[in-house]
Amino acid sequence: MKKILVIEDEKRIAELLQKGLSEFGFDVVAAFDGDTAKRLINSNSYDLVITDIILPHHNGFELSQMVKRLHPTTPVIMLTALGTTDDKLDGFDAGADDYMVKPFDLRELNARINVLLKRHDNQSGKHHSNELKYADLTMYLDMRKVFRSDKEIKLTPKEFNLMKYLLENPERVLPRTEIAEKVWDTHFDTGTNFIDVYINYLRGKVDKGFNKKLIHTSPGIGFILKSEE
């Protein structure tokens, strides 16, 4: 039975989630504030964490970062009334794997949970080399560090995942729809400009100051990692 931590300060919603997800076959633990959630995250491991953003003591961004620091592969879903693009970008930057806006349908939440758990199980079952390398760019998977030549490049969790996918597929044009599916799952709204925003973030960190540019746009299709002056 998969164990899920629900962090929600509205007890009615927390109880609804606890009851509904239990009926879907999950073992659900609820925390009603950031302090309680922090203690639970420190002392236990969970298969998945669902957190609201606005919470007493510690907000959902802080808690998501904490989960990813202690348990880097544990999926996190942010569940909140905030639905602007900036809010979603902040959530992804904090390490969230998915984002749902209230009000929500429990069946849809269950479907998203199962997608993330399946992806996590598949990744855990595969053997990964300790590093990915292309040109003078190296990614150390275990340490979650990236270097270009001798310069360390600081990436947010979502930037890291996007860069990882580019490194796994060098010199191949990756359509936006494929990136959306593989990095943001199929629930990502491809009508938004999230992918372009994150590609621009990566360019500003990976290519800035270097003569050879690695991240390129294929007009009307997507993006490609290739070494080019």
The last residue of one of the domains, among 90, 125, 160, is 125
Same domain, 166 and 78: no
- Residues (pLDDT < 70) of the chain are 82-85, 122-129, 186-192, 229
The last residue of one of the domains, among 125, 146, 172, is 125
Please state the domain count of the chain.
2
Same domain, 115 and 16: yes
DSSP code per residue over 26-94:
-EEEEESSHHHHHHHHHH---SEEEE-SS-SSS-HHHHHHHHHHHSTTS-EEEEES--SHHHHHHHHHT
CATH of the domain at 83: 3.40.50.2300
pLDDT at 83: 63
Contact 38, 69 (CB under 8 A): no
Q: Which residue has the tokens 């957190």?
A: 51
Residues 6+ apart with CB under 8 A from 59: 34, 53
Contact 80, 53 (CB under 8 A): yes
Range of the domain at 7: 3-125
Same domain, 40 and 118: yes
- Over the stretch 116-166, which tens digit does the pLDDT of each residue have? 998 877 665 554 558 899 999 999 988 889 999 889 999 998 899 999 999
CB atoms within 10 A of CB 194: 21
The last residue of one of the domains, among 125, 152, 178, is 125
> What's the rounded Cα separation, in Å, for the pair 89 and 80?
13
Same domain, 171 and 89: no
